[in-house]
Amino acid sequence: MAENATKVGLIVRSAPFQGRSGRDQLDLALAAGSLGFELELFFIGDGVLQLLGGRACDAAGLPGGIRGWQSLPELTPVTAWVSRAEYSALAGPDTEWMLEVQPAGLSEMSRRVLDCAPLMVV
């Protein structure tokens, strides 16, 4: 894409494995990425849990695909933001992230959100 490509922002705030709603955010990101939009993903609250690997949805009878977050960088440039507090609470030597995450303060994330058009909250 061109250097001044549109950045699509997606604020992900739903936890994974909550029925279909946990997959909707991924589907939206995959669609935008396949169209060539650069993605700025903001994982907040329970949404951060979507980035943690090592979770099995089959045993719970829920839809698969959460690991699909890993395929986004193959489609388009992706930056995944997580608040420093949430990152610190979850990061450890055995933590497997689905995407490379960028810990940031809330003011930095807010500034990044303003650079996105369109911005979707899901």
User: For residue 41, what is the domain's CATH number?
Assistant: 3.40.1260.10
Tell me how crowded residue 109 is: count the other CB atoms within 10 A of its CB.
Answer: 20
Residue of 85, 76, 82, 77 whose CA lies nearest to 112: 82
Query: Does 46 fall in a domain?
Result: yes
Rounded Cα–Cα distance for residues 77 and 80 (Å): 10
pLDDT higher for 21 or 42?
A: 42
At residue 60, the pLDDT reads: 45
- Tell me the average pLDDT of the chain: 83
Query: Does 17 fall in a domain?
Result: yes
Domain count, the chain: 1
pTM: 0.84
Is it the case that residue 98 has pLDDT exceeding 70? yes
The predicted-structure confidence for 26-81, as pLDDT tens digits, reads as follows: 888 999 999 989 999 999 998 898 888 765 555 444 445 556 888 899 999 999 99
| ω into 118 cis (within 30 of 0) | yes
At residue 61, the pLDDT reads: 47
At residue 4, the pLDDT reads: 54
Query: Does 2 fall in a domain?
Result: no
Rounded Cα–Cα distance for residues 106 and 103 (Å): 10
Query: Does 1 fall in a domain?
Result: no
106-121 mean pLDDT: 92
What is the extent of the structural domain holding 73? Answer: 7-121
